[in-house]
Structure 1
Amino acid sequence: MEHSLLLHLERHERGELERLEKLVNKYERGQIQRVDWLDRLTFKTMDKIKEHESLNNGSSHLYLVVDFCSFEHRVVFQESGANFLLPSPIASTNDIVIVWDPEVGKINPSEHKQLKLARSLTRGVIDRDLKPSSNERKSIQKILKHPPTRTLSGDERQLLWKFRFSLMSEKRALTKFLRCVEWSDVQEAKQALDLMGKWEMIDVCDALELLSPVFESEEVRAYAVSVLERADDEELQCYLLQLVQALRFERSDKSRLSQFLVQRALSNIELASFLRWYVAVELYDPAYAKRFYCTYEILEENMMKMGAGANGEEDGFKRWQSLVRQTELTAQLCSITRDVRNVRGNTQKKIEKLRQLLSGLLSELTYFDEPIRSPLTPGVLITGIVPSESSIFKSALHPLRLTFKTANGGNCKIIFKKGDDIRQDQLVVQMVSLMDRLLKLENLDLHLTPYKVLATGQDEGMLEFIPSRSLAQILSEHRSIISYLQNFHPDDHGPFGITATCLETFIKSCAGYSVITYILGIGDRHLDNLLLRDDGSLFHVDFGFILGRDPKPFPPPMKLCKEMVEAMGGAESQYYTRFKSYCCEAYNILRKSSNLILNLFYLMAGSNIPDIASDPEKGILKLQEKFRLDLDDEACIHFFQDLINESVSALFPQMVETIHRWAQYWR
């Protein structure tokens, strides 16, 4: 009886594999619609199923099966290195019959020869004057619109190669053309590099793609760096985090990219400070520690050699020492955090200990011998900590909230965290800052709050403190958002008793963050990590879950609670209609820069950021899906409006939010 049950189970499993094989055959015949990102995930899952079935084999016993080479006739000679594949034994009881074909997976010799002839140097004379037909041009334009994550098919590669000369004036085509090249073929690689030098100069966002792990050619990567040299310091700083990560994909410790980053940093203290921190944090990665340390040494050596600046700036030695003192400061803050945590008692006791330390044993922190460049804003010199204005947040990690005096007589407030990896927060806020820049370039200011975040270690870092209150606090004390804003911007003649400017700021910021958190797949949104400033600007904090991950079940596409809609006058008001209009406009603007955003995330694929490192390919494909590149702008407006309606009407997340509020209350 037991034997027959196992046999039935084995036949059932084989039947499942047979069903999958039939679906694959339909897919290859074009009977199933191709969806690039989904197909890749599907085939990966199928491979896991096959591997699982081959290991388990429908039995609780383990077997070791060894196949030895066997031939119909005696082997007289075997070529060294030949890899003989053997057919699986065919039995009549098997549900699936596997036919052995030794040429499967190998290049067809005739096809390979045709490919070589089509790409030979002699073809260059013929291809030079070739012009694509109307249909071929449509196909080429379709290929050029492919996202950078898309793998080109054999036919697409051949089409771009065939018309390479006529495409040289099309700068968008270069990255796609370079993907067509067989770089192992010296002759073909030389052809491609010659054409690359004559191609229309590409944009900086496309140059970032050439620094991804897909392109190993040092000449191609050096060309990408030459394009980056055209970017000004402001733009370069937008991509600096990713450019440091791209050092992982270089073939040399002293690569052209490394030298370029150091040279630009020498003339800009902000770039130098951030480059030093970004590299220093990666020194903990054993796989690439040598490469990052080499860049660190080059930066240190070159800066120490610098003389004083023409505008009275300090010499290189003093500038480098000012950056080193940042590390000394963070080490002292780590020590303070440990001492404060060891204090028994409530948060107030810990705050008293903090102020006692700053006024006593660590009084040197209240007035620095030499001003230190703020790690968050290197252009600002900080001169000491104000003990009476420093505090501790009520949290498990007890983050410090410190007020620093500045050299110009002002002050700045920062949050210092120890025991939490904030590199993911750093990436998200960088993306918010970049998207804010992209929107403003299109004359759309949505009053975003891209506060500064800097990881100073694997489990420590600084965040800019923005005076604000969480929506949970506001709703608890004031019942509504409008009631809260009336305290700061009252206007009897304005909408809902507040000024029109304040309401407009609230609506725009809600729209901006709704779009950005949707695109980046920000999870774990609740009323405690949605903050509101006095001027009406709403912003998000705490980005522990990105790219679609969420600890809560059935999360809505975006965080848009009913209290936010009520503050706009309800779903039928003109202000809510304006909110939806801003959302759709912002979404279509950011879709235009989808390649840039995808390229930046692609360069982060090798990083140790949790939600990317777990499965980089899947995360980037999820990000690509959010842009809906298959739709035009008009269709995207309808799509995004449906998303907003779905988010507002989601009942389950409201229940989860209520449970979260209860949990916070009892905590």
Structure 2
Amino acid sequence: MANGGEFRFFLSCDISLPLAFRVDRLLHYPTPTQPSPPQDRTTLATNKKVPELVVECKLYIDGIQFGLPVSTRLESSGPPYFWNEVMTLTAKYRDLTSLSQLAFTVWDMSSGEDGNIVGGATIFLFNNKKQLKTGRQKLRLWPQKEADGRVPTTTPGKVVPKNERGEIERLERLVNKHERGQIQHVEWLDRLFFRAMDKAKEKCERTENLYPSLVVEFCSFEHRVVFQESGANFYAPAPVLLSNQLVTVWDPELGRTNPSEHKQLKLARSLTRGIIDKDLKPSSNERKCLQRIIKFPPTRSLQVDEKQLVWKFRFSLMSEKKALTKFVRAVDWSDIQEAKQAVELIRKWETIDVADALELLSPDFESEEVRAYAVNILERADDEELQCYLLQLVQALRFERSDESCLAHFLVKRAVSNIEIASFLRWYVVVELRDTAYARRYYSTYDLLENGMMKFARDDGDEDGFRLWQSLTRQTELMAQLGSIMKDVKQVRGSAQKKIDGLRQLLSGVFSELTNFDEPIRSPLAPTVLLTGVIPQESSIFKSALHPLRLAFKTANGGISKIIYKKGDDLRQDQLVIQMVSLMDRLLKLENMDLHLTPYRVLATQPDEGMLEFIPSSSLAQILSEHRTITSYLQKFHPDEDGPFGITAQCLETFIKSCAGYSVITYIMGVGDRHLDNLLLTDDGRLFHVDFAFILGKDPKPFPPPMKLCKEMVEAMGGAESQYYTRFKSYCCEAYNILRKSSSLILNLFNLMRRSNIPDITNEENAGLKLQEKFRLDLEDEEAIHFFQDLINESVSALFPQMVETIHRWAQYWR
């Protein structure tokens, strides 16, 4: 209802979208007589005794079937049986009448080609008020009976009177409203509700005589859709003019599959050819085409002829581990028999690398068997490697078909045995609880983690699971207290020094309990470090609009841990960029190339809150203001009369290498808004970047250079003609080629972030392609060296960025 009592709605005859809905799951279907043990869910082995279910849907208009039926893929991993598959019909909403029905029939295909009917149900698309039904619908199936689309139907889906539906149906209607945004999101209340929902389901299953029920979800619109019969639906032909003017002719077949081509395609991929295909060997030209396809980046989809070629020689490709992801893309997963054969081949394929397994967890792959296979491969990664991908694996939970997926159980299992993984997994999940579309899934993962940690007991008996979990939840309490402190500090009027004094007074007075914790708290940034209290006199505030806190904590081993707390800023993008810096640093070190990078820790604890590791350093703007040159600054800390430019050789080498590393990484990531205030330098010569508000080529300033390489940095290397500058360019080119070899891993990780709530990724439709372009995969290594050297020369000689930098300095001065 609008403010004026007005009812807003859409007319069905005005909606030209095709009719679409989602087949979710089958509930309360009897368990097979010989169920597989739970641990076998992650294997690809199949058991012929397990039901193989498929849902067939037909559209009936006024009791007559309209169009061809559509079917889901085969599902055998229940109960419960999950499809989570979107079905789209050729009919459009404007074609519907008030007596339009969808008829769902569940078939068990395990007994043969014809299959056995599990049950069927029919549902009208419009209710008795002539309004289109939306949201989740639970249909009770009529056992061993095919869905009937006549009017009146003999298989109505809603056969239970309202007074008999009970508490569980009432709760399901509330969930439906919550998912459509009709109920306000309240984090703590949502969590209580979902727990109550799970308990009610358990009680219902124990006490009620439940029939098999199919859960489907209809599309929702901004306003209600009211049925309105449309008039004649035709396109008037364009008038023929006696001139050379172009005439637009509407082709109703445009974009549709050619039936003859589709038939030929199915014949070529017929399973009866499997015996012949086993002995096929590609010719020289076909081998070249296959190798070219195998080298495609993950962002490249396969054309029809390329899929055909991969499928044709699938048996000869089984020894090529890099070919598996291309084979999975070539499979028609809507064909039940073809999907079955593909699963069997995957089991026999050469074991793939962890980097390729990450690709199989992307939203491009929906098959549960394929995703379970990818999780099995991830089991081989050690804890250090797993932490490099943990942020993306938490995002990959969005693409799973169930709340308690193989991936969720895998992450919890690894977290239980490693406190660092447990702490970061908990925080990554907590941040996603704010996303209403996936809140239920992440609440489920959070509960899995909590239950897993509570049941855990260390072999040495030092710490039980309850205390470990408590040590993590106390981090949340600490963050809440820091948020209160920042709120009070912002209310202090006056200069920055007055705010710093106010912070120290708060820590010594009202929040004095923070100076000595009752029990040590694990640092959110480094969970192995135990914090024992805040040091008020060593804590301060940064001069910026958000007034970030710089806090000094005492640690259990007698040291000091300095942490930056920020409120009001989204650190998720910074967290991602630093994670990629850390990963690239690891990849370079595996090739024996240490570029002295500084991947400081960043953790987003809420969409507008987080922590950063404090690295003692100075900005290049401050250094140039106080010391005139970078060389003078380094001479102050590492003087050497016999060294180059009066600096120790080791310090200069550290500076050159770090400049090279960040030049390459910021170019690949497309980091923008680079100026001398967000380039920092430590006293041992390590240069590093901070503040990553713009990535993937975005920049608030016009005509940005490919990378930030100011003349002061070149001068510190002895100028453009010096041997040290030549060494800098050599490091850049070598690092660029090393990272190009791992481009698939980096692209796969970015692809898993596709539906995250990070602005520069979700708002950029071609984020993956932009990143891929930076690798120049079309070039050989020698060509890539010349390409990157040209980029360096372009960045150094760019005049416009120097003018912008001068303007920025004056702006900072007058501020």
Task: Normalising by structure 2, report the TM-score.
Answer: 0.72
- The answer on 1:456 being equivalent to 2:605 is yes
Q: Which residue of 2 aligns with 1:142?
A: 292
Q: Which residue of 2 aligns with 1:320?
A: 469
Verify the 8 A CA contact 1:88 1:98 in the aligned structure 2.
no
- The answer on 1:236 being equivalent to 2:386 is yes
- The answer on 1:609 being equivalent to 2:609 is no
Q: Secondary structure at the match of 1:461?
A: strand
Determine which of 402, 405, 414 is the counterpart of 1:252: 402
Verify the 8 A CA contact 1:452 1:464 in the aligned structure 2.
yes
Taking the aligned partners of 2:503 and 2:387, their CA distance within structure 1 comes to 35
Q: Which residue of 2 aligns with 1:639?
A: 787
**Cα-Cα RMSD:** 1.6
Determine which of 712, 718, 722 is the counterpart of 1:573: 722
Q: Which residue of 1 aligns with 2:802?
A: 654
Taking the aligned partners of 1:256 and 1:618, their CA distance within structure 2 comes to 30
Verify the 8 A CA contact 2:574 2:691 in the aligned structure 1.
yes
Decide whether aligned partners of structure 1 residues 571 and 368 sit closer, same or farther in structure 2, where only a CA change above 3 A counts: same
Taking the aligned partners of 1:80 and 1:509, their CA distance within structure 2 comes to 66
User: Where do residues 351-390 of structure 1 align in structure 2 (5 Å cutoff)?
Assistant: 351-390=500-539
Taking the aligned partners of 2:773 and 2:803, their CA distance within structure 1 comes to 28
Taking the aligned partners of 1:158 and 1:183, their CA distance within structure 2 comes to 14
How far did 1:351 drift? 0.5
- The answer on 1:621 being equivalent to 2:607 is no
Q: Secondary structure at the match of 2:636?
A: coil
Q: Which residue of 2 aligns with 1:408?
A: 557
Taking the aligned partners of 1:311 and 1:549, their CA distance within structure 2 comes to 52
How far did 1:102 drift? 3.5
Q: Which residue of 1 aligns with 2:66?
A: 80
User: Where do residues 415-430 of structure 1 align in structure 2 (5 Å cutoff)?
Assistant: 415-430=564-579
How far did 1:200 drift? 0.4
Query: Over residues 70-89 of structure 1, what are the superposed CA-to-partner deviations in whole Å (9 max), with x where a residue is unaligned?
Result: xxxxxxx9972475995552
Paired residue type of 1:211: L
- The answer on 1:520 being equivalent to 2:675 is no
Query: Over residues 48-69 of structure 1, what are the superposed CA-to-partner deviations in whole Å (9 max), with x where a residue is unaligned?
Result: xxxxxxxxxxxxxxxx9999xx
Q: Secondary structure at the match of 1:236?
A: helix
Paired residue type of 1:379: T
Paired residue type of 1:378: P
Query: Over residues 25-66 of structure 1, what are the superposed CA-to-partner deviations in whole Å (9 max), with x where a residue is unaligned?
Result: xxxxxxxxxxxxxxxxxxxxxxxxxxxxxxxxxxxxxxx999
Decide whether aligned partners of structure 1 residues 66 and 449 sit closer, same or farther in structure 2, where only a CA change above 3 A counts: closer
Verify the 8 A CA contact 1:86 1:100 in the aligned structure 2.
no
Verify the 8 A CA contact 2:670 2:698 in the aligned structure 1.
yes
How far did 1:456 drift? 0.6
Taking the aligned partners of 2:520 and 2:512, their CA distance within structure 1 comes to 15
Q: Which residue of 1 aligns with 2:417?
A: 267
Paired residue type of 1:268: N
Taking the aligned partners of 2:715 and 2:785, their CA distance within structure 1 comes to 23
Q: Which residue of 1 aligns with 2:348?
A: 198
Query: Over residues 427-484 of structure 1, what are the superposed CA-to-partner deviations in whole Å (9 max), with x where a residue is unaligned?
Result: 0000000000000000000000000000010101000000000000000000000000
Q: Structure 1 segments of 4 or more deviating over 4 A?
A: 64-67, 82-88
Q: Which residue of 1 aligns with 2:626?
A: 477
Taking the aligned partners of 2:382 and 2:15, their CA distance within structure 1 comes to 62
Q: Secondary structure at the match of 1:179?
A: helix
Verify the 8 A CA contact 1:569 1:576 in the aligned structure 2.
yes
Q: Which residue of 2 aligns with 1:25?
A: none
Q: Secondary structure at the match of 2:344?
A: helix
Identify, as 1 or 2, the structure richer in strand.
Answer: 2
Verify the 8 A CA contact 2:237 2:249 in the aligned structure 1.
no
How far did 1:115 drift? 1.4
Determine which of 440, 452, 473 is the counterpart of 2:589: 440
Decide whether aligned partners of structure 1 residues 602 and 65 sit closer, same or farther in structure 2, where only a CA change above 3 A counts: closer
Q: Which residue of 2 aligns with 1:531?
A: 680
Verify the 8 A CA contact 1:87 1:99 in the aligned structure 2.
no
Q: Secondary structure at the match of 1:117?
A: helix
Q: Which residue of 2 aligns with 1:340?
A: 489
Determine which of 164, 169, 181 is the counterpart of 2:314: 164
- The answer on 1:120 being equivalent to 2:270 is yes
Q: Which residue of 2 aligns with 1:15?
A: none
Verify the 8 A CA contact 1:453 1:461 in the aligned structure 2.
yes
Determine which of 690, 695, 719 is the counterpart of 1:546: 695
Q: Secondary structure at the match of 2:384?
A: helix
Percent identical among aligned pairs is: 78
Query: Over residues 565-587 of structure 1, what are the superposed CA-to-partner deviations in whole Å (9 max), with x where a residue is unaligned?
Result: 00000000000000000000000
Taking the aligned partners of 1:86 and 1:640, their CA distance within structure 2 comes to 57
Q: Secondary structure at the match of 1:274?
A: helix
Taking the aligned partners of 1:177 and 1:229, their CA distance within structure 2 comes to 22
Query: Over residues 233-278 of structure 1, what are the superposed CA-to-partner deviations in whole Å (9 max), with x where a residue is unaligned?
Result: 0000000000000001011000000000000000000000000000
How far did 1:113 drift? 1.5
Q: Secondary structure at the match of 1:401?
A: strand
Decide whether aligned partners of structure 1 residues 565 and 87 sit closer, same or farther in structure 2, where only a CA change above 3 A counts: same
Number of residue equivalences: 593
Decide whether aligned partners of structure 1 residues 572 and 99 sit closer, same or farther in structure 2, where only a CA change above 3 A counts: same
Paired residue type of 1:120: S
Decide whether aligned partners of structure 1 residues 79 and 361 sit closer, same or farther in structure 2, where only a CA change above 3 A counts: closer
Q: Which residue of 1 aligns with 2:742?
A: 593
Verify the 8 A CA contact 2:517 2:532 in the aligned structure 1.
yes
Decide whether aligned partners of structure 1 residues 86 and 168 sit closer, same or farther in structure 2, where only a CA change above 3 A counts: farther
Q: Secondary structure at the match of 1:572?
A: coil
Taking the aligned partners of 2:385 and 2:686, their CA distance within structure 1 comes to 25
Q: Secondary structure at the match of 1:577?
A: helix
User: Where do residues 12-161 of structure 1 align in structure 2 (5 Å cutoff)?
Assistant: 80-81=66-67, 87=235, 89-92=237-240, 95-161=245-311
Q: Secondary structure at the match of 1:302?
A: helix
Q: Which residue of 2 aligns with 1:465?
A: 614
Identify, as 1 or 2, the structure richer in helix.
Answer: 1
Task: Normalising by structure 1, report the TM-score.
Answer: 0.87
Q: Secondary structure at the match of 2:566?
A: strand
Q: Secondary structure at the match of 2:321?
A: coil
Verify the 8 A CA contact 2:397 2:407 in the aligned structure 1.
yes
- The answer on 1:185 being equivalent to 2:335 is yes
Taking the aligned partners of 2:235 and 2:295, their CA distance within structure 1 comes to 43
Verify the 8 A CA contact 1:492 1:498 in the aligned structure 2.
yes
Paired residue type of 1:91: P
Taking the aligned partners of 1:286 and 1:447, their CA distance within structure 2 comes to 41
Q: Secondary structure at the match of 1:484?
A: helix
Verify the 8 A CA contact 1:452 1:463 in the aligned structure 2.
yes
Q: Which residue of 1 aligns with 2:104?
A: none
Decide whether aligned partners of structure 1 residues 66 and 582 sit closer, same or farther in structure 2, where only a CA change above 3 A counts: closer
Query: Over residues 597-618 of structure 1, what are the superposed CA-to-partner deviations in whole Å (9 max), with x where a residue is unaligned?
Result: 0000000001000100112x31
User: Where do residues 263-302 of structure 1 align in structure 2 (5 Å cutoff)?
Assistant: 263-302=413-452
Query: Over residues 258-306 of structure 1, what are the superposed CA-to-partner deviations in whole Å (9 max), with x where a residue is unaligned?
Result: 0000000000000000000000000000000000110000100111112
- The answer on 1:216 being equivalent to 2:397 is no
How far did 1:104 drift? 2.5
Determine which of 303, 319, 337 is the counterpart of 2:453: 303
Taking the aligned partners of 1:583 and 1:654, their CA distance within structure 2 comes to 22
Determine which of 484, 487, 491 is the counterpart of 2:640: 491
Paired residue type of 2:639: P
